Structure 1
Amino acid sequence: MAETLTPQLELLPPARRLLLLGLKQLGETDAESLSRVAFLSVPAVRAHLAGLARHGLVSITRRPEGPGRPRNRYALTPRAESLFPQGYARAARWLLEAADSDPAIRKPFLRALVEARLREAAEAFDAPTPAGRVQQLTRVLEDLGYYPLLETIPGSKWRLTLRHCPFVELVADHSEVCAIESRVIQVALPGGRVERTCARSEGAPACAYLLQSFR
């Protein structure tokens, strides 16, 4: 049975902390891939993952992968999300709950939230080229705790994967937070195309966007 208390990420032993960070980076994966990320032997990785599973932080699933016996695949559990940056999710939840209690203030509150976030974004993105602005966007999202992964696609396109959501506790009840996120990303590519291809709120393991510049 998992213990009732989840240790904070910084208080975990270094090897287990590296493995959790590796799972955040790779998503569902196997022990061999994690051993390369954490610079540990495969048996050591498996032993640490078994301990993390007992804490309720890692799930273990056996999946067939070609001929032979099924292999174990490892992934972070929802409980493990509390170990990663949560931004101001709890404070934002309290504010939104207060706004929910009075419909007259909900709309202006959300409008003010969006406008403030967009102003901050506009100040952060000042590179002269779309590629430079996308790089700035990635750094902003990194600072906010999104663990972004940026992949360049030929033709002035990029695939942006957000491997963590610092507002995951908030999104379940307030999907408008995702809309704010999309608009902030759009600010980095004025006149470009921002398409969200998958979302955690819809059951995907991460949020991902396809970005395209037309100039």
Structure 2
Amino acid sequence: MPKPAARSKTGSKSKAGPKSKTGNKRSRRAIIDALKQHGPQDAAHLAEGLGISAMAVRQHLYELEAEGLVDHAAEARPLGRPAKLWALTPAADRFFPDGHAELTLGLIDSMKQAFGAKGLEKLLAVRAQEQIAAYGARIDRQRSLAGKLRALAEIRSEEGYMAAVEKTAEGYLFIENHCPVCSAAAACAGLCRSELEVFRAALGDGVTVERTDHILAGARRCAYLVTPKD
């Protein structure tokens, strides 16, 4: 004879409903997004940022770790035990857009064969000019450098780069937490070089733009230091 379902103190049957499962999925995805955008964090910082309990965050992290999506490393603290800093593994890349990597790689290879390296560079130059014109049409509406960077971040986020802007002592840090064309950029160095040129042209002659972090060089993100010229 089957055992009766467990009941709560009020006498009703206890079970996780659809809302609970949906909430768990949302929390897990929120944790993945937070680690992607802000890098390694401990459970307490994640909980504070997401507005859920540290215990719930730890439970999700251990589940994500079991699936190979996150890993952790110990960080020494002045007092108490070392903290666990959680970070995404390469397996988590599937949660973020890849920009149709396979198709893009195939097109790059075909263009190299059809037009040669110089022909590919010309095509990238044409694409860069189109980007500069499109970005400039939206960026130029802003008067301040901060406004221009926020507009650029909005554009790049729409394209899948998860862009953000941070104020620094030197100026501003323009950050791209994800590269939807990373595979293509690895096969065609001109794409990254073109990106830097596009930012410089779109933001105008009054600023200096220098890349400080590069995903293809092993960083978790691409970042650019943007400073006003004297």
* Counterpart in the other structure of 1:177: 191
Q: 1:153–1:74: structure 2 CA closer, same or farther, 3 Å change rule?
A: closer
Checking the alignment, whether the CA contact within 8 Å between 2:74 and 2:82 is kept in structure 1 is yes
* SS class of match (1:211): strand
What's the RMSD between the two structures over aligned residues?
2.3
- Say yes or no: does 1:37 pair with 2:52: no
Provide the C-alpha distance between the structure 2 equivalents of 1:164 and 1:204, rounded to a whole number of angstroms: 11
* SS class of match (1:172): helix
TM-score normalised over the length of structure 1: 0.84
Q: Letter of the 2:148 partner, please give it.
A: R
CA displacement at 1:176 relative to structure 2: 2.1
Checking the alignment, whether the CA contact within 8 Å between 2:209 and 2:226 is kept in structure 1 is yes
Deviation by residue 1:82-118 (Cα, 9 ceiling, x = unmatched): 2112224332211112234x27433213321332233
CA displacement at 1:60 relative to structure 2: 1.5
CA displacement at 1:42 relative to structure 2: 0.6
Checking the alignment, whether the CA contact within 8 Å between 1:193 and 1:212 is kept in structure 2 is yes
Checking the alignment, whether the CA contact within 8 Å between 2:101 and 2:183 is kept in structure 1 is yes
Q: Letter of the 1:164 partner, please give it.
A: H
Point out the more displaced range, 106-115 or 77-86. 106-115
CA displacement at 1:142 relative to structure 2: 0.9
Using CA pairs below 8 Å that are at least 6 residues apart, which structure has the higher relative contact order? 1
- Say yes or no: does 1:57 pair with 2:69: yes
Percent identity reads 30
CA displacement at 1:27 relative to structure 2: 0.5
Q: Letter of the 1:175 partner, please give it.
A: A
Unaligned runs of 5+ in 1: 1-9
Provide the C-alpha distance between the structure 1 equivalents of 2:71 and 2:151, rounded to a whole number of angstroms: 34
Provide the C-alpha distance between the structure 2 equivalents of 1:139 and 1:146, rounded to a whole number of angstroms: 10
Paired residues in the alignment total 203
Unaligned runs of 5+ in 2: 1-21
**2:161 alignment partner, one of 131, 146, 164:** 146
Provide the C-alpha distance between the structure 1 equivalents of 2:109 and 2:144, rounded to a whole number of angstroms: 38
* Counterpart in the other structure of 2:176: 162
* SS class of match (1:44): helix
CA displacement at 1:120 relative to structure 2: 2.8
**1:78 alignment partner, one of 71, 82, 90:** 90
Counterparts in 2 of 1:105-116, with a 5 A limit? 105-116=116-127
Q: Letter of the 2:120 partner, please give it.
A: F
Provide the C-alpha distance between the structure 2 equivalents of 1:48 and 1:35, rounded to a whole number of angstroms: 11
CA displacement at 1:53 relative to structure 2: 1.1
Give the greater-gyration-radius structure (CA): 2
CA displacement at 1:154 relative to structure 2: 6.2
* SS class of match (1:146): coil
Provide the C-alpha distance between the structure 2 equivalents of 1:117 and 1:66, rounded to a whole number of angstroms: 49
* SS class of match (1:13): helix
